Structure 1
Amino acid sequence: MTLTSSLRILAVFTALLLFAAGCHSPATSTPATAEDLSQMNRNFAAAINAKDAVAAANCYADEATLYPPSEPAVTGRANILNYWQSAIDAGATNVSVKTIATGSEGNLGWETGQFQMDVKTPDGKVVVDKGRYTELLKRNNDGKWVSIMGMWNADAPPAP
């Protein structure tokens, strides 16, 4: 074998190794900011205030699960849409959220915060419900953060 042939084989082998190494390198994603991670809940609050259950449900991944206080889990976007439509129909309004903390690693993230909303009691009286929430988020194929799991609880029973 000549020196030229050996160099060609070495060059091809090196190129194949570099190509293979590039195929297995981890994908890089844009780091998430607190603003990015909390956008989901701001969009959610705006949707409920606009009485738009579809927009509220679109803040969640298809396979998401809600864990409402003192109620069974709600899984899947269609069921989540029905859940929030029921809340809107029952008089949930004036929703506001305040982010307390966020974090992420790759395409997974989380947010904790405080919420406040007006709810109607069965006798038609409007009371203010305040509490805390936690959202587990994932970045979808469009680069948008959506909830994959959400839970919340009231600080205290709504004031009469």
Structure 2
Amino acid sequence: MTRNSFIAGLLLTGFSMLAACNNAEQQQPTTANELSQMNRDFANALNDKDAVAAANCYTEDATILPPNEAPVTGRANIRQYWEGAIAAGAFDVAVATLSTGSNGDLGYEVGRFQMSTKDSSGKVMTERGKYIELLKRDKDGKWRSTHGIWNTDTLALQ
């Protein structure tokens, strides 16, 4: 009986340790609001004409895939890309989240955007489209884009 009690105690201790390990530091589920914050910050940065803040929404090694253009990789190059958009007169940037999801420190956001510019005569042109951002939570808990792709709802002029 003593030997059986010892084995039962050992098994109970082992199972308790396994249960404790599985419950250690489980993160709360990520909300759609948390995942979409990156793009709200990004839109605010463009509206404030702040390419540095816009680029800080991306990881250091992020890649963006603009429509009809070559991929842009690295935060510094992404900053230059958005400096060009700001210099071209981008304003009234808005985003709307359609769906989000996450698993651990990886997530995604699918949404719609609108951005206005003025042509050479001063006429306001508003572009609308769709985007997908692949996101990664950094060590400080902030979600940043690792890959972003978007397209417009209008056909490119040939």
Scaled by the length of structure 1, the TM-score of the pair is 0.81
Distance of aligned partners of 1:123 and 1:74 in 2 relative to their CA distance in 1, 3 Å threshold: farther
SS in 1 for 2:144: strand
Shift of 1:129: 0.2
Aligned to 2:142: 144
Aligned to 1:33: 31
Deviates more, 1:113-122 or 1:23-32: 23-32
Identity among equivalent positions (%) equals 56
Q: Which structure 1 residue ranges, 5 or more long, are not aligned?
A: 1-9
Structure 1 residue 67 corresponds to structure 2 residue 65: yes
1:103 to 93, 101, 104: 101
Taking only aligned residues, the RMSD between alpha carbons, in angstroms, comes to 2.6
Contact 1:136 1:150 in 2 (8 A): yes
Shift of 1:123: 5.4
Counterpart CA distance in 2 for 1:141 and 1:67 is 25
1:46 to 44, 47, 53: 44
Aligned to 1:5: none
Shift of 1:157: 3.8
Aligned to 1:114: 112
Q: Which structure 2 residue ranges, 5 or more long, are not aligned?
A: 1-9
How many residues in Structure 1 have an aligned counterpart in Structure 2? 146
1:5-24 aligned within 5 A: none
SS in 2 for 1:87: helix
Q: Which amino acid aligns with 1:88?
A: I
